[in-house]
Amino acid sequence: MPPSLDLMSPETRANPYPLYAELRRSGIRQVEPGGMWAVSRYDDVVTVMKDPRRFSSAGLGQGFLPPWLPRNPVAQSLVMQDPPLHTRLRGRVSRTFGPAALAVLEPKIRAIADQLTRQLLRHDGSVDFMSEFALHLPVNVLGLLLGLHPEQSPQLKQWADDLINLPAGRHPPEEQHRVRESLASLEQCFEELLSTRRASPGDDLVSELLRPDAEGAMLSHDELMSFLFALLPAGVETTVYLLANTLVVLSEHPEDRARVLKNPALLPQLLEEVLRYEPPAHSSLRLVTEDTELSGVRLPQGSLVVVLLASALRDERHFPDADRFRLDRERSSHLAFGHGIHYCLGALLARLEARLGLEALFSQLRDFSRASAELHWAPSLIARGPLALPLHLTPTHPRE
């Protein structure tokens, strides 16, 4: 296999789009790492995501269960299940992320965003947007959603980091011990949360998950635990990167930046175009359940398929002028939140969080720019975002 087809090479992680374009030209190809089959065109991506019978989500948990970890509830979570189990679980949890639940959260998210903005603007000179803002908003919102105490947020962030870094990280023995302890503490925190809410239910997500559905069916303890665990990788890292990628894109498009800073009503369309152009969830994985054919290529049973969402979102056959960021692009169904039965349960929440976060920040900014031209992207195949994002901020009102 030519070395140029390595999805994880440093050159590809720095800028994966030339390789994605080459893959779209040549069709379905085997790539590194591991000889996975890369599916890169929009139509093929939709075909795979719509067909859980031939392309299973089982096995996505492997990265979360290294040999040195005795157990990890996330490895059995919703996103890694196929029908009929997935259908039942999804039916039970989907209402917890609907518009009614979000309307309750909105003022609280706005308050968190205002407070993070105030803290960010206290910095003179350059400030790292990732560690001072983007990493905090989704963790705090998840804490709200679960009904945790605000003081538990830093701890939740550490647990989220440990869980998220499992598939990509190299863990020497002393690290392994720390991660095992960390996940055990997270499990204990969720155990306590479940028993508190069982004793006195409230209007939070955990209380809702504990209620029987219309037919009187309840989630088992293990199902509850894996769902709660899965919210950390699913809901934190992706939203952090949506916030950060938006600022990266705007830093490179001064005219659009000026327009959005002047007119926050443009934020929803800005976010949709960032989700297409620089999507935080770059890819997903599927396992081929039987010998099958896709666009003329034979895929053997048991092979792994990498579904390149970010490539599909640059497919010229579907998006005119696909490699250009266009703030005024007409809305077209994008795949940034997936497609089919696993379509992101948190899509509404993620859009709300990002809009409120940026609304709070932009209301206090006249302009911003990157403090360093160089960007280091997270070394991940699944998620794309910068590791750090140093910015120079020009506030609307001079600092006190």
Interacting residues toward ligand HEM by CB under 6 A = 57, 78-79, 90, 230-231, 234-235, 238-239, 242, 280-281, 284, 336-338, 342, 344-346, 349-350
**Smallest distance, Å, CB 154 to ligand HEM?**
19
**Smallest distance, Å, CB 314 to ligand HEM?**
16
Write b or e for each residue in 140-156: b if 16 or more Cβ atoms lie within 10 A of its Cβ, otherwise e.
bbbbbbbebeeeebebb
**Smallest distance, Å, CB 378 to ligand HEM?**
14
Is 348 or 371 the residue whose CB approaches ligand HEM more closely? 348
Is 163 or 336 the residue whose CB approaches ligand HEM more closely? 336
**Smallest distance, Å, CB 245 to ligand HEM?**
9
Is 82 or 187 the residue whose CB approaches ligand HEM more closely? 82
For 340-356, the three-class secondary structure string (H helix, E strand, C coil) is HHHCCCCHHHHHHHHHH
Is 120 or 344 the residue whose CB approaches ligand HEM more closely? 344
Is 193 or 234 the residue whose CB approaches ligand HEM more closely? 234
Is 228 or 391 the residue whose CB approaches ligand HEM more closely? 228
**Smallest distance, Å, CB 16 to ligand HEM?**
16
Is 49 or 121 the residue whose CB approaches ligand HEM more closely? 49
Which residue is at the shortest CB distance from ligand HEM? 346
**Smallest distance, Å, CB 172 to ligand HEM?**
30
**Smallest distance, Å, CB 123 to ligand HEM?**
25
**Smallest distance, Å, CB 52 to ligand HEM?**
9
Is 138 or 257 the residue whose CB approaches ligand HEM more closely? 138
